[in-house]
Amino acid sequence: MERSLNEKCAVVGVFDHEEASKLAYFCLHALQHRGQEAAGISSGDGKQLYTIKDRGLVTRVFNEQKLATLQGRAAIGHTRYSTAGDDSILDAQPVFARYDLGEMSIVHNGNLTNAQEVRDALIAKGAIFQTFMDTENLIHLIAKSDEEKLLDRIVDAVKKIEGAYSLVFLSRSKMFAMRDPYGFRPLSLGRVGDGYVVASETCAFDLIGAEFVRDIEPGELLVFEKEKAPQSIRVFDPTPKHCIFEYVYFARPDSDVFGKNVYLMRKNMGVALAREKPVEADLIVPVPDGGVPAAIGYSQESGIPFEMAIMRNHYIGRTFIEPTQEMRDLKVKMKLSPIISMIKGKRVVVIDDSIVRGTTSRRIIRMLKDAGAAEVHMRISSPPTTDPCYYGVDTPDKDKLIAANMSSDEICKYIEADSLAYLSNTALLQSVGATESNYCTACFTGEYIV
Ligand code: AMP
């Protein structure tokens, strides 16, 4: 698969509010966990669009002055997740373009699975691309569509793309929000003042005091026009395949995603894990922050005390950000440290949400053993991650996924744990009240939908 750069990201859109770009900024701030590499906002004042985007965290990219230049009552924003090796500013979003109908900006969370075919076909007809982003395909499809109105062009364009997309479009006077027919990635609608807000996660609404209205349905396009209620267009019949990994790792615990609170889902996974994979021990210790809710669930179900015996230094980014293995190793050490007096002589159960390459677990277990733990048992609140995601979660290629290349026993030896056990896929689905038919579990099963 060719490089594509619209992976785990956050999107936001604010419509008909006098502080549109400021609210978009705050929303992006709440959604920073979905992407730390780049951030951007486009706003519109009816006459033109204004765009600022740059590498770095939301607070680095924007300040009062910059936000003041993002005029108008509508704004869309994006935070982008890191991808191996490339940090070109061209690959930050929103993607802005001028075309025959005027100006437009697009933000995208997800990953288009037919991006290369669409791009090749467009290039064969003379299109010139500036970035590696599959989102740029949409710009071309919209610009080249034979339809007269932007709305019809958007419908035309999304019918030519496949895969995962939660999209927000901004024109000079309107905003559009669209979710793919599978609803892989979340996208919710809220009310703020007399206007509207759409965002990848509801934690953004809580920050700006917006009221949650509903999730945008899979296959639904919402059209926002001044002084009108949003118009809903069912472009595709919904066939939900929500991403289970949003619950496992990606979304923020205080968000309601796919209609359910993420923290509670993670706690349920911990309860299920304690039932399915019990172990005799003195302490339950989470890998912060991801493992915390599951560890609380595991502790409550097993009766083994919970302790925050691994501390996290919050002043560095996620370990995945660095492209080289050496930097990732170093970052784990910088990020996590044990409370030796809690751990010494104890049989510890360490809980994390997932093992990807195995680097984090190996480091943590070594750290706990160095701190004097008598035994370290690793429990993972999801199944082995055996397959890469093509729908918007930034997982490495199969050859780097430890569970694709080693058995559980081999992984246990590699990470130097006294035991290792994962939550089964069935128990995972049960703990979030999901079924195989409405959730995508391809990263655990290899069963891809598109
Ligand atoms: P690894 O060291 O490669 O096994 O990574 C496992 C750690 O990364 C766990 O602590 C997870 O919480 C976290 N993690 C899982 N999936 C992702 C992802 N797609 N991006 C960043 N971190 C992740």
Asked if 221 and 270 sit in the same domain, the reply is no
| Beta strand segments in 188-335, E | 188-192, 195-199, 211-215, 220-224, 231-234, 242-243, 256-257, 260-261, 283-286, 310-312
Query: What predicted TM-score, i.e. pTM, was given to this entire model?
Result: 0.93
Mean pLDDT in residue range 326-350:
86
Q: Which pair of tokens denotes residue 47?
A: 């006459």
Q: Is the pLDDT of residue 402 over 90?
A: yes
Instruction: Indicate whether residue 265 lines ligand 1 (CB < 6 A).
Output: no
Asked if 49 and 193 sit in the same domain, the reply is yes
Instruction: Indicate whether residue 83 lines ligand 1 (CB < 6 A).
Output: no
Instruction: Indicate whether residue 249 lines ligand 1 (CB < 6 A).
Output: yes
Q: What pLDDT does 87 receive?
A: 58
Asked if 270 and 225 sit in the same domain, the reply is no
The rounded percent of the chain whose pLDDT value lies above 90 is 84
Mean pLDDT in residue range 203-207:
98
Q: Is the pLDDT of residue 445 over 80?
A: yes
Asked if 151 and 278 sit in the same domain, the reply is no
Asked if 76 and 152 sit in the same domain, the reply is yes
Instruction: Indicate whether residue 352 lines ligand 1 (CB < 6 A).
Output: yes
Q: Classify residue 272: in a domain, yes or no.
A: yes
Task: Give alpha helix (H) positions in 303-407.
Answer: 325-335, 340-343, 359-370, 402-405
Query: At which of 179, 206, 240 does a domain end?
Result: 240
Q: Is the pLDDT of residue 86 over 70?
A: no
Q: Classify residue 130: in a domain, yes or no.
A: yes
Distance 22 CA to ligand 1 centre (A): 31
Please give the residue that has the higher pLDDT: either 3 or 353.
353
Number of domains into which the chain is organized = 2
Instruction: Indicate whether residue 385 lines ligand 1 (CB < 6 A).
Output: no
Q: Is the pLDDT of residue 3 over 90?
A: no
Task: Give the position, in ligand 1's atom list, of the atom nearest the Cα of 290.
Answer: 12
272 CB burial (10 A radius; 0-12, 13-18, 19+): buried
Instruction: Indicate whether residue 394 lines ligand 1 (CB < 6 A).
Output: yes
Residue 338 binned pLDDT confidence (cut-offs 50, 70, 90): very high
Q: What pLDDT does 7 receive?
A: 60
CA distances 392 to 27, 94, 242, 265, 339, Å, are 20, 17, 12, 21, 36
How many other CB atoms are there within 10 angstroms of residue 320's CB atom?
21
Pocket mutation for ligand 1, best pick of 249, 332, 363, 423 (most atoms within 8 Å of C-beta):
249
How many other CB atoms are there within 10 angstroms of residue 421's CB atom?
18
Using DSSP's 3-state secondary structure scheme, residue 33 falls into helix
Asked if 236 and 270 sit in the same domain, the reply is no
Q: Closest Cα partner for 387 from 370, 376, 400, 371?
A: 400
Q: Classify residue 210: in a domain, yes or no.
A: yes
Q: Classify residue 448: in a domain, yes or no.
A: no
Asked if 233 and 310 sit in the same domain, the reply is no
Exactly one of 9, 27, 243, 440 is catalytic; name it: 9
Please give the residue that has the higher pLDDT: either 83 or 178.
178
Instruction: Indicate whether residue 290 lines ligand 1 (CB < 6 A).
Output: yes
Distance 251 CA to ligand 1 centre (A): 13
Instruction: Indicate whether residue 81 lines ligand 1 (CB < 6 A).
Output: no
Poorest-pLDDT segment among 115-119, 270-274, 306-310, 373-377:
115-119
CATH number reported for the structural domain that contains residue 269 in this entry? 3.40.50.2020
CA distances 171 to 2, 189, 204, 314, Å, are 30, 19, 23, 38
Q: Is the pLDDT of residue 50 over 90?
A: yes
Q: Is the pLDDT of residue 144 over 60?
A: yes
Asked if 103 and 186 sit in the same domain, the reply is yes
CATH number reported for the structural domain that contains residue 105 in this entry? 3.60.20.10
Asked if 224 and 269 sit in the same domain, the reply is no
Distance 355 CA to ligand 1 centre (A): 6
27 labelled catalytic = no
Instruction: Indicate whether residue 200 lines ligand 1 (CB < 6 A).
Output: no
Distance 248 CA to ligand 1 centre (A): 11
- Which amino acid, one-letter code, is at 224? F
Q: For residues 195 and 72, what is the distance between their CA atoms, to the nearest angstrom? A: 13
Pocket mutation for ligand 1, best pick of 244, 252, 360 (most atoms within 8 Å of C-beta):
360
Q: What pLDDT does 325 receive?
A: 66
Distance 350 CA to ligand 1 centre (A): 15
Instruction: Indicate whether residue 358 lines ligand 1 (CB < 6 A).
Output: yes
Asked if 232 and 271 sit in the same domain, the reply is no
Q: Which pair of tokens denotes residue 282?
A: 């003195």
Q: Which domain holds residue 236?
A: 10-240
Mean of pLDDT over the chain = 93
Mean pLDDT in residue range 159-170:
96
The residue nearest atom 13 of ligand 1, judged by CA position, is: 354
Q: Is the pLDDT of residue 329 over 70?
A: no
Q: What pLDDT does 392 receive?
A: 87
Residue 133 binned pLDDT confidence (cut-offs 50, 70, 90): confident
Distance 290 CA to ligand 1 centre (A): 9
Residue 2 binned pLDDT confidence (cut-offs 50, 70, 90): very low
Query: pLDDT, tens digit, for every residue of 417-443?
Result: 999 999 999 999 999 998 878 999 999
Q: Classify residue 183: in a domain, yes or no.
A: yes
Mean pLDDT in residue range 315-341:
72
Task: Give the position, in ligand 1's atom list, of the atom nearest the Cα of 332.
Answer: 2
Asked if 177 and 295 sit in the same domain, the reply is no
Distance 366 CA to ligand 1 centre (A): 17
Mean pLDDT in residue range 141-163:
96
Tokens 């559980």 belong to residue: 408
Q: Classify residue 259: in a domain, yes or no.
A: no
Q: What pLDDT does 317 receive?
A: 55
Query: pLDDT, tens digit, for every residue of 24-42?
Result: 999 999 999 999 899 999 9
The rounded percent of the chain whose pLDDT value lies above 70 is 93
Q: What pLDDT does 91 receive?
A: 81
Distance 34 CA to ligand 1 centre (A): 13
Please give the residue that has the higher pLDDT: either 192 or 334.
192
Q: Classify residue 197: in a domain, yes or no.
A: yes
Mean pLDDT in residue range 174-189:
98
Mean pLDDT in residue range 51-64:
96
Mean pLDDT in residue range 359-367:
93
Q: What pLDDT does 51 receive?
A: 98
Q: Classify residue 30: in a domain, yes or no.
A: yes
Q: For residues 24 and 319, what is the distance between their CA atoms, to the nearest angstrom? A: 27
The residue nearest atom 23 of ligand 1, judged by CA position, is: 320
Asked if 423 and 290 sit in the same domain, the reply is yes
Please give the residue that has the higher pLDDT: either 133 or 317.
133
Instruction: Indicate whether residue 318 lines ligand 1 (CB < 6 A).
Output: yes
Residue 84 binned pLDDT confidence (cut-offs 50, 70, 90): very low
